[in-house]
Amino acid sequence: MSAVAIEPITIDPITFAVVKNAMDAIVDEVAYTVLRTARSEIVKDVMDYSAAICDREGRMIAQAKTIALHLGAIPEAMAEVRKRYGGTLQPGDAVILNDPYEGGMHLPDIFMFVPFFYQGEIEGYCVVICHHTDVGGRVPGSNASDSTEIYQEGIRIPALKLYEQGRANDTVERLIARNVRVPDRVLGDLRAQYAACKVGVRELTGLLDRYGRHAARAYFEELLDYAERLTREEIRRWPKGRFTFTDYIDDDGISPDPIPICVSMTVHDDHVSVDYSGSSPQVRAAINSTLSYTKSCTYLSVRCALKGDVPNNAGVFRCVEIHVPEGSVLNPKEPAAVAARALTGYRVFDAMLGALAQVVPDRIPAAGEGGNTVVCLSGKNDQGKPYIIVDMICGAWGGRPHSDGIEAITNASQNLSNTPVETLEAKHPVRVEAYELLPDSCGAGQYRGGLGIRRSYRVLGKDSFLQLRADRMKFQPYGLAGGEPGSAAENRLERAGQVRLLPSKVGMAVECEDVVTHCQPGGGGFGDPLARDWDAISEDVWNGKISAEYARKHYRVVVDGQSGRVDAQATQALRAGTQQL
């Protein structure tokens, strides 16, 4: 009997819009399910997780409004899953992995892939990535920046089945539980990932019930092609040529040497190529960025420069060629440590935006705070049980081409939240004694940067250990178009009334009643500070965001510190040079 010919699908624009929005709704529902079912604060409060849907060939066709820097790493991890299991997956299976040298990013980020079957054939995959509170290793939280090889960082999981046809793999679960400090939270979050993926499978089944397999495949393919077409059309309007930018990480916490991140971006007719040659060789400490993560940061940066109506899927990736030298801090050789790789990813994002600002200056903001700071406190609570706090302090954006930077917000490359003070204090032996904006921390400009944040923790437990991963102490967030840099970061430890400064990256024992304080940098400014509207300066002084002294020094505007009223005559004299600063 001859095969039945299948009529080609004609893409209907209305149906295409319905399918596109349905995919966005489904993947967001997957993400909401994680939020509702997770066990740990790092997932349900800080929201350090991501969700996506891939088609039957493993190409990402939809992503949730979650951690943007995770999602571009999915292609590398997806390729490992398909290579390992090929066509042997069954309905109800779930594959996990976290190995940075086989598609992962760093060990706390565990990927889960659940295949979606329809009428006996794989039609796609639901993907959830969660940052787990602990995956073992030499320090609680498994996120230390001073590890020197990956074997110190925790349990490495190659692509393995955690669920087989809907049943948990007891061997894998027991192995994970034996290697982590808080197994109830880790296993609980893994089960939340599986539950969320099952929600995605259910909703995708409904979508294919409505449109059929053949039509769904055609519309999924069109989603990728549509994103590619829009991206190429936009790049065609960009100025052509080679654009370079270099930004720096202060140091790796072991050596005092700065770590350059060098970007060379070439805009071709309808695509861009990015070359990271000249960036630092891989370093001893754990801030090396895996290749999958470097690629993810690069895709995200280009996507941020595009218009908002471009779908967030792998079609955009087709327009970006990436070269990363092997053995560099952005593509290390095994067994380099990578636990704190997010810090380097943030600097890749900043360097890419610095290059893109030369291409589309009306869309790119000045540098933000440099990425979230990770504060990890661990020890025993009053009941003698282990506790681990992994808090991510989110700060400020840089000034934008047409408005000020935003403060008390996640970095533009993430979708994180600070852990609520009440949650920290209710569940752990710690008291948050300051959580506030830092006056005068913004970079001055026609549009100023956002203010940095100060957060202080009083340690109430005994025999506690602090890990603190920060940056931008030596290299402040840059300004653009004449804007000034934001303030520098600062770490402090107060013990028995004595205060001492800490380096940007530190791991140390802390005592009961010690106070640990981190000051986030402010965002860089955009545009000439002398062009800033006087009313905006007056409002900032009145609101306590900047001082009268700051206004006088950086804007050359004389303001009353109490009322915020501008003295026009004194300001004109100051700017004319007849009055001293």
Nearest to 534 by CA among 559, 503, 511: 559
Name the amino acid, one letter, at 570: A
Share of the chain above pLDDT 90, in %: 92
What is the DSSP-derived secondary structure letter of residue 289?
Answer: P
Within a domain: 254: no
Main-chain dihedrals φ then ψ at residue 503, nearest 5 degrees: -70, 175
Are 407 and 550 contained in the same domain?
A: no
Are 512 and 545 contained in the same domain?
A: no
Nearest to 557 by CA among 578, 573, 544, 543: 573
Q: Point out the domain boundary residue: 227, 256, 271.
A: 227
Contact indicator for 86, 339 with CB cutoff of 8 Å: no
Q: Which two tokens stand for residue 580?
A: 């001293």
Q: What is the pLDDT of residues 178-217, one digit of tens each?
A: 999 999 999 999 999 999 999 999 999 999 999 999 999 9
Nearest to 369 by CA among 340, 401, 406: 406
Q: What is the pLDDT of residues 219-256, one digit of tens each?
A: 999 999 999 999 999 999 999 999 999 999 999 999 99
Name the amino acid, one letter, at 316: V
Q: Point out the domain boundary residue: 177, 212, 227.
A: 227
Are 564 and 427 contained in the same domain?
A: no
Q: What integer pLDDT is reported at residue 455 of this predicted model?
A: 97
Would you place residue 3 in the very low, low, confident or very high pLDDT band (cuts 50, 70, 90)?
A: low
| Close Cβ partners of 202 (under 8 Å, ≥ 6 residues apart) | none
Contact indicator for 571, 557 with CB cutoff of 8 Å: yes
Within a domain: 242: no
> Around Cβ 382, how many Cβ atoms within 10 Å?
10
Give the gyration radius of the chain's Cα atoms.
Answer: 25
Q: How far apart are CA 473 and CA 479, in angstroms?
A: 16
Would you place residue 308 in the very low, low, confident or very high pLDDT band (cuts 50, 70, 90)?
A: confident
Are 42 and 110 contained in the same domain?
A: yes
Are 467 and 567 contained in the same domain?
A: no
The average pLDDT across 263-290 equals: 98
Nearest to 301 by CA among 190, 412, 220: 412
Are 508 and 540 contained in the same domain?
A: no
Nearest to 149 by CA among 283, 260, 280, 261: 283
Contact indicator for 388, 46 with CB cutoff of 8 Å: no
Mean pLDDT of the chain: 95
Provide the CA 52 distance to its chain's centre, in angstroms.
15
Within a domain: 2: no
Within a domain: 355: no
Per the document, the length of the chain is 581
Contact indicator for 77, 101 with CB cutoff of 8 Å: no
Within a domain: 359: no
Q: Point out the domain boundary residue: 510, 529, 548.
A: 529
Within a domain: 343: no
Contact indicator for 541, 547 with CB cutoff of 8 Å: yes
Are 519 and 543 contained in the same domain?
A: no
Task: Write down the residue that tokens 């700051």 correspond to.
Answer: 550
Q: What integer pLDDT is reported at residue 1 of this predicted model?
A: 42
Are 133 and 43 contained in the same domain?
A: yes
**Residue-number span of the structural domain to which 70 is assigned:** 13-227
pLDDT surpassing 90 at residue 414: no
pLDDT surpassing 70 at residue 294: yes
Task: Write down the residue that tokens 């993810």 correspond to.
Answer: 296
CA angle 274, 51, 348 (to 5 degrees): 25
Would you place residue 581 in the very low, low, confident or very high pLDDT band (cuts 50, 70, 90)?
A: low
Contact indicator for 146, 286 with CB cutoff of 8 Å: yes
For the chain, what is the domain count? 3
Which helix (H) or strand (E) covers residue 433, if one does? strand 430-437
pLDDT surpassing 50 at residue 36: yes
The average pLDDT across 494-523 equals: 96
| Close Cβ partners of 222 (under 8 Å, ≥ 6 residues apart) | 11, 16
Would you place residue 6 in the very low, low, confident or very high pLDDT band (cuts 50, 70, 90)?
A: low
The average pLDDT across 318-330 equals: 98
3-state secondary structure of 110: strand
Q: How far apart are CA 262 and CA 390, in angstroms?
A: 30
Within a domain: 382: yes
Q: What is the pLDDT of residues 56-104, one digit of tens each?
A: 999 999 999 999 889 889 999 999 999 999 889 999 999 999 999 999 9
pLDDT surpassing 70 at residue 159: yes
Within a domain: 141: yes
Identify the sign of the CA torsion 421, 411, 135, 462. negative
Are 399 and 429 contained in the same domain?
A: yes
Would you place residue 144 in the very low, low, confident or very high pLDDT band (cuts 50, 70, 90)?
A: very high
The average pLDDT across 285-310 equals: 94
Q: What is the pLDDT of residues 501-513, one digit of tens each?
A: 999 999 999 999 9
pLDDT surpassing 80 at residue 258: yes
pLDDT surpassing 90 at residue 43: yes
Q: What is the pLDDT of residues 532-576, one digit of tens each?
A: 999 999 999 999 999 999 999 999 999 999 999 999 999 999 999
Are 398 and 547 contained in the same domain?
A: no
Q: What integer pLDDT is reported at residue 580 of this predicted model?
A: 59
Of 1-15, 376-390, 422-436, which has the strongest mean pLDDT? Answer: 422-436
Are 87 and 208 contained in the same domain?
A: yes
Share of the chain above pLDDT 70, in %: 98
Q: What integer pLDDT is reported at residue 384 of this predicted model?
A: 83
Least confident of 350-354, 423-427, 530-534: 423-427
Are 82 and 217 contained in the same domain?
A: yes
